[in-house]
Chain A
Amino acid sequence: SAVISQKPSRDICQRGTSLTIQCQVDSQVTMMFWYRQQPGQSLTLIATANQGSEATYESGFVIDKFPISRPNLTFSTLTVSNMSPEDSSIYLCSVEAMTSPLRNEQFFGPGTRLTVL
């Protein structure tokens, strides 16, 4: 399994500001993913971040709102831009386990709990 850390673990922000969330993995991984989990909801994939290429965003998420960087195989950042109270969520990064491709197993970071006032 991979050990994943995220910073910050939580933050309270004012509307209109931006927050950058960092995700660090203890081993090199090809695919990293960013999810959002709104209160009482399941996880929704925001985008897939691959090193050396632009992130691939899911329907309903755009690069201007959620820019992502992936400078190397162990690190990624997600920025939540021009925040509004609707962005209050837990943001999680995950990595694909280096096991059989058939499994597509993912390990999750501890999450960043964001509250926008």
Chain B
Amino acid sequence: QKEVEQNSGPLSVPEGAIASLNCTYSDRGSQSFFWYRQYSGKSPELIMFIYSNGDKEDGRFTAQLNKASQYVSLLIRDSQPSDSATYLCVGAGGTSYGKLTFGQGTILTVHP
């Protein structure tokens, strides 16, 4: 069983729509969660982090964490073609303190 599992995708949305990316995790001790964006041929870059239950908003991005359900999500509002990338859901802490556990990634395509 994967420790961090993302909805498989690929996900395709029209420009201006809301893109919804989801993942679940198995380690209840995980403390922090990150969403990294990776453009093709580039290294991952951090776009959001969350460690408290609820929502966290930053511009067009909203991260949601539900520790009871072991569920993390990222919403991208007003999606732009420049948002087209692979999004990696990442857990940290818990039984693998100091290490990051990566989901398999979801490829998002925003078409004009």
Contacts and interface: CB of A to CB of B under 8 A. Distances in A.
Decide if A and B are genuine partners: yes
Contacts of B99: 33, 45, 48, 104
Interface of A: 31, 33, 41-45, 48, 92, 96, 102-111
A103 B32 contact: yes
A91 to B, nearest CB: 11
B interface secondary structure, majority: strand
A29 B67 CA distance: 30
Interface string B95-106: 001111011110
A41 B104 contact: yes
Contact of A42 (B42, B45, B51, B102): B102
Interface centre among A31, A96, A108, by most chain B C-beta atoms within 10 angstroms, is A108
Interface in B56-108: 88, 92-93, 97-100, 102-105
Interface in B29-44: 31-32, 34, 42-44
A41 B103 CA distance: 10
Given A104-B98, A108-B43, A43 B88 contact: yes
Given A102-B51, A102-B93, A104-B92, A48 B44 contact: no
Interface residues on B, range: 20 to 34
Contacts of A92: 43-44
A103 B49 contact: yes
A48 B100 contact: no
Given A102-B51, A104-B92, A110-B43, A45 B100 contact: yes
Contact of A109 (B43, B49, B100): B43
A105 B49 contact: yes
18 contacts: A33-B99, A42-B104, A43-B44, A43-B88, A43-B102, A44-B102, A48-B98, A48-B99, A103-B32, A103-B49, A104-B31, A104-B32, A104-B98, A105-B49, A105-B92, A108-B43, A108-B45, A111-B42
Top 10 nearest A-B pairs (CB, nearest first) are A104-B92, A108-B43, A42-B102, A43-B102, A42-B104, A42-B105, A111-B43, A103-B32, A108-B44, A110-B43
